[in-house]
């Protein structure tokens, strides 16, 4: 009788626990991953950055790296975070730029000197497209330096045809730092990538327990961990300790809805540069851009998106550039609010970039110019993306 009662109690306890062990529409963290549980397969791809860096001292959270301090390999993340095995089966890939030799004797080696390049973006996008077509992969996490992470994620959001979750993540403090944000950010990013609810939402950004759309997120603080925000639209969801929860859906075209794809892009995208508007900003800088062969210019305008006026200002230079076939797009340096399609702006031939940041408007203009130079068609692209 005791044996029968004990068996019944164990069976009932197991039956109650099973729903919490399987991957749910919103990913919960099981307390234990029993043998044989079919966890989602998440690919963890490293593109370097602060999260892949460490210092010789735990209190050094801003001046890390240097001679004799090794980088953090993606395999070390998995080894340091056994908790990952509770939510996904994680495999790793290393897409970090190689360490370059010192620029001068006595100087430290440089990791990917010059920052992210278009060659690296193409390489990662092609790999993401391969993973999109791999039936054994359920989600992807890409680690990246926070300085240019938002625009890199935006590029992938435009050129990779994928419905599976793709989540970008990084950290503001090195892996070795006291109270480093990297470990929890990485765990939460894997949780987001492992949940079916994250599929079909385009490329996501997950840091500081917030989930933002790649289109909208931007970095606002140099060192604070709460640096990433979507200024106008807010977070799409959260990665809380108990569950991953979404509250909104993107309405703009992205990933599997995009007309751009990495497989059909030219080897080199058209040159587009960014000019900043400020009091007495000169027009000759725009003239120099055109002279150097730019096919498009993004002006980060004052107020609601205004270039500087006057005979020597940006407005006159824009007209000269347009006369040579250069397409001009304007953003607002306020970082909040849309650049509106006013009658005066339509008359000027300048294309409003909605609420995109200048660096993201630059990437979209590059892609648009790879297909067309028609301002009306390019405006249509900015309206839809």
Catalytic residues: 50
Q: Which positions ≥6 away from 51 have C-beta within 8 Å?
A: 72, 143, 169, 170, 171, 174, 175, 182, 185, 186
List helix spans (H) across 1-117: 2-21, 74-80
Instruction: Give the 3-state secondary structure of residue 331.
Output: strand
- CA torsion angle for 350, 353, 354, 359 (degrees, to 10)? -150
- Contact between residue 152 and residue 159 where contact means Cβ atoms under 8 Å apart: no
The token pair at 224 is 């604070």
Please tell me the distance from the alpha carbon of residue 30 to that of residue 308, in angstroms, as a whole number: 57
Please tell me the distance from the alpha carbon of residue 66 to that of residue 371, in angstroms, as a whole number: 43
DSSP per position, 224-272: -TT-EEETTT--SEEE-SSBEEE-----S--GGG-S--GGGS-SSPPPE
Please tell me the distance from the alpha carbon of residue 20 to that of residue 49, in angstroms, as a whole number: 34
- Contact between residue 307 and residue 318 where contact means Cβ atoms under 8 Å apart: yes
Tell me the sheet residues that pair with 161: none
* Strand (E) or helix (H) holding 157: helix 149-159
- Contact between residue 132 and residue 156 where contact means Cβ atoms under 8 Å apart: no
């Amino acid at each position: 009788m005791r044996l029968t009662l004990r068996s019944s109690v164990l069976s009932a306890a197991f039956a109650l626990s099973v729903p919490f062990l399987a991957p749910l529409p919103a990913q919960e963290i099981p307390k234990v991953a029993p043998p044989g549980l079919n966890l989602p397969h998440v690919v963890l791809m490293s593109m370097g950055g602060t999260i892949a860096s460490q210092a010789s001292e735990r209190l050094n959270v801003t001046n890390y790296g240097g001679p004799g301090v090794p980088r953090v390999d993606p395999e070390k993340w998995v080894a340091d975070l056994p908790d990952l095995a509770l939510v996904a089966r994680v495999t790793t890939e290393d897409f970090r730029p190689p360490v370059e030799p010192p620029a001068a004797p006595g100087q430290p080696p440089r990791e990917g000197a010059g920052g992210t390049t278009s060659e690296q973006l193409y390489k990662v996008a092609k790999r993401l497209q391969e993973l999109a077509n791999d039936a054994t992969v359920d989600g992807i996490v890409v680690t990246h330096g926070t300085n240019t992470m938002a625009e890199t994620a935006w590029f992938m959001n435009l050129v990779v045809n994928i419905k599976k979750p793709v989540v970008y993540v990084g950290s503001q403090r090195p892996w070795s730092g006291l109270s480093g944000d990297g470990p929890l950010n990485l765990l939460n990013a894997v949780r987001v990538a492992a949940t079916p609810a994250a599929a079909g939402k385009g490329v996501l950004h997950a840091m500081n327990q917030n989930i933002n759309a790649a289109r909208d997120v931007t970095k606002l603080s140099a060192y604070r961990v709460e640096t990433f925000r979507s200024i106008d639209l807010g977070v799409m969801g959260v990665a809380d300790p108990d569950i991953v929860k979404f509250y909104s859906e993107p309405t703009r075209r992205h990933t599997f809805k995009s007309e751009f794809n990495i497989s059909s892009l030219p080897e080199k995208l058209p040159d587009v540069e960014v000019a900043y508007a400020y009091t007495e900003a000169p027009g000759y800088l725009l003239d120099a851009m055109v002279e150097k062969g730019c096919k498009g210019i993004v002006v980060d305008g004052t107020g609601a998106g205004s270039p500087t006026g006057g005979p020597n200002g940006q407005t006159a230079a824009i007209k000269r550039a347009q006369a040579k076939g250069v397409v001009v797009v304007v953003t607002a340096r306020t970082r909040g609010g849309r650049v509106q399609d006013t009658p005066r702006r339509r008359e000027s031939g300048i294309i409003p970039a909605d609420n995109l940041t200048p660096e993201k408007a630059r990437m979209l203009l590059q892609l648009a110019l790879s297909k067309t130079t028609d301002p009306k068609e390019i405006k249509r692209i900015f309206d839809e993306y």
